[in-house]
Structure 1
C-alpha cells in the first residue's frame, strides 16, 4: 500500500488546514442529498465534525500497518452500529467525502487523488461493514443508573446495571449516551471495574467545560435514569502471560481503567509488583484516593504514589505525574499502562521514551469530551 498511502497523505495535506470547512461542506452535501440521514446525527454537530476527521486521519495513518488498519476499521464498523448505519449509507458518505476534499484542495487536486480516495474508501467501507456484520451483539445496551455520587464540584462516580449481559475486558472503554439529556451524542468512558457477576459497571466522569455529555453525566444524571452503552473497544488490557512488574500512570479520572485493571489483578496476581502513580491538579481531584489506599493496604504487591501539580500544600509529591514517574525506577523492565487527558498521556509517553522504556511494553488510552 506504499503508493496509495503516499497519495492519501499528499492529498490530505492539501486540505488539512481547511479541515473544519471540509467537514462542514461534507455534512451539508450529505444532508441536502439525503435529508433522512440528519436524524442519525446529534443536534449539536460541532464535535461530530472533528470526530469524522479524526477517524479519516487515523485510517490514513494506519494504511501502512495492515493489521492495525484492519482491527481499527472493524472495530469502527461495530461501533457505528449504534448510529443505525446501513450498508447503503456508506456509498453516500464516500461520495460526499471525496467531493468535499476536492472542493477545498485547489488546483493541485488531480484524478490520481480522486482514485486513491475512492480505492481507500472502498477498503475502509468493506472492512467496517465486515466488522458490523460479524458482531452478534445488539447495536447498544440499555442500562439503568443504580447509584450516583458527586465526588467534587465537577467529578461524579456512578454505577450502571445493563439490562442484558455486556461482556468486556478490564481496561477497555465503552461509548455512553446520556439518553434523557443529550440523545445521539456519544462519548467514550472506561469502566472502573473488571467484569463482575452482577454485570454492573462503574464510571468516573469529570464535567469538562462545555462538554455536552460529561456535564449531563455529572450534573443531571440521577438514579433511575436509563442510558445507552455501546460495544466495548480498546486494547489497554492485561497480558496474563507477562511476568514483568507493572506501572500504572493515571491522571484525574484516567484512574478508572487503572482501577479496572487492578481489580482484575487482585483475582490472580501473586508474583508481579505493581506501582500506581496517580496525579491531579489539586487534592480534591484525587477523588478516589481513599479506595486506592485501601487496595494498597490489602495487597502487599501494590504501591501508590500521588502527586498534585497545582496544590503547594499537598503533602505528597509535587509536579506533573509524568515528571514524578521519572524520579522513580528504573523502569526499562516493566509493563506500562497510561490513562488520562491527551496532554497528560503525551507528556508521559515522552518521559517513558526518554527513560528508554520499549514502546511495545506501553499501552495507553487518552480521553477528552
Structure 2
C-alpha cells in the first residue's frame, strides 16, 4: 500500500491496482474529475515525488505533458509513496452518489440535433446535487452515457438534460428514435466536480460549446440567490456553436445580471454577432483576468485551448475549472 500526499498536505492511502482518484474518494478526499476514463484532463495532476503506474491509456494527456510528469488520477495507481501537485476540494462535501430509477416525463426538440429530456424521480427519492454536476443515464440493454444536469436543484423531483445526437451512437438511437414518455430508466449520480467555487467579488467567466451550456445554465440559475457577501463582481457567458440553431436556448433572457456573448464559427453573412471560437473571442474582449475565475464546458479541444490561452492572459493558477465532453466511451458525455 502506498501513501499519496497532495500539495495541500492532505494524505491518503491507495491499494495496489486502485486508481488514485478512487482511493481519494474512499478516504473522503475530493479531487477534480470528469470522465473517469482517461479521456479528458480534468483530473490532471503532477507527480512531484515518487512513482505511479498506468491502469489504462491516458488519452487526455499529450506526450509533452507526460514528459513533464503530469498524470491522470482516474487511471493511475501508485507503486510507492507519491507527492502530487493537485487541487484538493478541501471543505466541499460532495453529495452522495446513488443509483435510482426514474421515468421520462417529457421529450422536446430544442434544435434539429438537440433534445430536452425531463426525468421524473420517485416522490420518495432523496437525490441532491451541486449545479454543474452530471449523471450517468442507464438505458436499454445497460447502455450508459453521461449527461450534464441543466437543472439548478432537485426539489421538484425532476431533472433536465440537454442531449445532442451523436451520429452512429447507440444511446442517441434510443433518445431520438425510440424513447417515449413514461419509459423507465435508471440514473447514477451526481458525478463530477464542475460547480461553483469561491465567488465573492470575482469576475466569473463561463465558456461553453454546444450542449456544454446545460451545466452553465444550472449554475447561472443559482447566482441570483447567492448571499450578498458571496456575489461575484461580474458574470460573463460566451456560448459557441457553428450556426444559429446551435444556440438553442435564450441565455440572455435568463434572470440575473450577466453579460452574454453568442459566438458562431460557421455563420453566414447575415450573422452580426461574434465569429470564431469562444476562447479567442474572450481574449479579443481584452478582459482583465487577474480577478477572475473561468469555467469551461464543452469540447475537449476548446477546453485545452482555453486553459492555455487564459493562463497566458493572466488568469491566476487554479482558477480554471472545466468539464470536457468526450464521446464514444462508456462513461462519456454525449
Sort the Cα spacing of 1:247 and 1:59 in 2 relative to 1 into closer, same or farther, 3 A: same
CA–CA distance in structure 2, aligned partners of residues 227 and 121 of structure 1: 40
Name 2:168's counterpart in structure 1: 210
Name 1:330's counterpart in structure 2: 288
Q: 2:189 aligns to what SS in structure 1?
A: coil
Q: 2:190 aligns to what SS in structure 1?
A: coil
Q: Which structure is higher in RCO with an 8 Å CA cutoff and minimum separation 6?
A: 2
104, 118, 122: which one aligns with 1:159? 118
Deviations 1:141-166 (CA, angstroms, capped at 9, x unpaired): 11111111012221111111112221
Output aligned runs, 1:1-369, within 5 Å: 59=19, 71=29, 120=78, 140-163=99-122, 164-179=125-140, 183-239=141-197, 242-268=200-226, 270=228, 271-272=231-232, 273-288=234-249, 290=250, 292-295=251-254, 298-299=255-256, 301-313=257-269, 314-328=271-285, 329-369=287-327
Sort the Cα spacing of 1:237 and 1:58 in 2 relative to 1 into closer, same or farther, 3 A: farther
Q: 1:204 aligns to what SS in structure 2?
A: strand
Report the Cα offset of residue 353 of structure 1.
Answer: 2.1
CA–CA distance in structure 2, aligned partners of residues 176 and 276 of structure 1: 28
TM-score in terms of structure 2 length: 0.67
Aligned residues of 2:97 and 2:191 also touching (Cα < 8 A) = no
- Length, aligned pairs only: 259
CA–CA distance in structure 1, aligned partners of residues 210 and 119 of structure 2: 21
Query: Which consecutive aligned stretches of 4+ in structure 1 deviate over 3 angstroms post-superposition?
Result: 1-4, 56-60, 66-76, 119-123, 135-139
Report the Cα offset of residue 281 of structure 1.
Answer: 0.9
Sort the Cα spacing of 1:346 and 1:161 in 2 relative to 1 into closer, same or farther, 3 A: same
Report the Cα offset of residue 74 of structure 1.
Answer: 12
Sort the Cα spacing of 1:218 and 1:362 in 2 relative to 1 into closer, same or farther, 3 A: farther
CA–CA distance in structure 2, aligned partners of residues 73 and 268 of structure 1: 24
Larger Rg: 1
Report the Cα offset of residue 240 of structure 1.
Answer: 5.1
Which structure 1 segments of 5+ residues have no match? 5-55, 80-96, 99-118, 124-134
Sort the Cα spacing of 1:331 and 1:157 in 2 relative to 1 into closer, same or farther, 3 A: same
- Report the RMSD for the aligned CA atoms in angstroms: 3.8
Report the Cα offset of residue 322 of structure 1.
Answer: 1.4
Sort the Cα spacing of 1:121 and 1:232 in 2 relative to 1 into closer, same or farther, 3 A: farther
Aligned residues of 1:155 and 1:218 also touching (Cα < 8 A) = no
Aligned residues of 1:206 and 1:218 also touching (Cα < 8 A) = no
Name 1:21's counterpart in structure 2: none
TM-score in terms of structure 1 length: 0.61
CA–CA distance in structure 2, aligned partners of residues 316 and 67 of structure 1: 45
Higher helix share: 1
Q: 1:232 aligns to what SS in structure 2?
A: strand
Aligned residues of 1:59 and 1:73 also touching (Cα < 8 A) = no
Q: 1:265 aligns to what SS in structure 2?
A: helix
CA–CA distance in structure 2, aligned partners of residues 362 and 215 of structure 1: 34
Question: Which region of structure 1 is more displaced relative to structure 2, 205-214 or 153-162?
Answer: 205-214
Report the Cα offset of residue 230 of structure 1.
Answer: 0.1
